[in-house]
Amino acid sequence: MLDHVQAFRPTALQVDLARRIAREILAGAHVTGTHLSEELLARQYQVSRTPVRAALKLLAMQDMIAYKQNSGYFVRELADGAQTPEWQSQGLTSDELYRILIEDRASRLLPDTFTDRDLLLRYAVTRSVLAKTLVRLSAEALIEKRKGHGWRFPNSLEDAQARAESFRFRSAVECAGLLEPEFRADTTALLRMQASHLTLAEENDPDTMAREFFTLNAEFHEMLARFSGNRFVLQTVQQQNQLRRLASRATLFQLPRYAASIREHLQIIQAVSDKELEFASALMRQHLRLDYRATGT
């Protein structure tokens, strides 16, 4: 065992992340020699860097990746027929299950309809944790009870009418949020968001750009909603972002325009920094309109 990897009992989230990264490596998404960035992986999987760091340690213990002092983790050359390792973990928490269910639905690993038993068989979770998670998903309108037995994912943003309604709703709420009387911008957060956009703008790999932009886009809109000082604006934006996470990536980005969206985000950030909030609101309306048109509707 590598001396930098200490014995520890991983959580279910850490194991889940390790398995996901392992599957990507085996699928060729991370070729031999690729540097695995904690920051990028954390953004991709919507988690903090701490569980990502633990997941990378698990992969290093299985010799799927190698650790280099002061450099981080890199993908090793794997033997033919290598498979995803199996790890034992602690049970999932409700927050972890919530995140995993949304990600698995977005990846179409979960069907339109399901029962409690289906999820108990699929995930390492107790009935109480599952019940708490389903109540939360239901309260946020991400799932709904079937008339007969079990649950179903609603159409969310999969059809043209729903996307049109979402566009009009987001335009009304997000543009108004920029004009709220209690709107207060956090300069440090704005600069950090600006730097993240500029870094992503230099990304040359389309697949990486797609994964990273989806997360950064959600962070951008939630940041501005938080600045509004209106809790209901923030809750609305967060709920819309969750609906977008549930939708298939193909539905949301039929005509990728990541570079253009990054430029538009940066223009809005600059307008907010200059305290030109009326202009920022107008820019946001145009940005949402262009995003909506890019879905092909």
Encode the chain (297 residues) as per-residue pLDDT tens digits: 333 334 456 777 888 888 889 888 887 878 899 999 998 888 877 788 898 999 999 999 999 999 998 889 999 998 877 888 877 666 778 888 888 888 788 777 889 899 999 998 888 788 888 999 999 888 877 889 998 789 998 766 666 787 788 889 999 999 999 999 999 999 999 999 999 999 988 888 776 777 778 788 889 999 999 999 999 999 899 888 877 777 755 444 444 678 889 999 999 999 999 999 999 999 999 999 998 887 644
Q: Which two tokens stand for residue 176?
A: 């108004």
Give 214's contacts (C-beta < 8 A, 6+ positions apart). Answer: 249, 252, 253
CB 279 within 8 A of CB 239: no
Domain boundaries, the chain: 12-75, 94-152, 160-294
CA pair distance 115, 3, nearest whole angstrom: 44
Quote the pLDDT of residue 252. Answer: 46
Same fold? 12-75, 94-152: yes
Quote the pLDDT of residue 229. Answer: 94
Instruction: Give the DSSP H/E element, type plus range, for residue 89.
Output: none
Torsion of CA 96, 100, 101, 107, to 10 degrees: 170
CATH fourth-level superfamily of 160-294: GntR ligand-binding domain-like (1.20.120.530)
Quote the pLDDT of residue 284. Answer: 97
Q: Residues 94-125, buried b or exposed e (16+ Cβ, 10 A)?
A: bebbbbbbbbebbeeebeeebeeeebeeebbb
CA pair distance 173, 197, nearest whole angstrom: 23
Q: Which two tokens stand for residue 148?
A: 């007969």
> How many Å is the Cα radius of gyration of the chain?
21
What is the third-level CATH fold of 12-75?
Arc Repressor Mutant, subunit A (1.10.10)
Quote the pLDDT of residue 157. Answer: 61
CATH architecture, domain 94-152: Orthogonal Bundle (1.10)
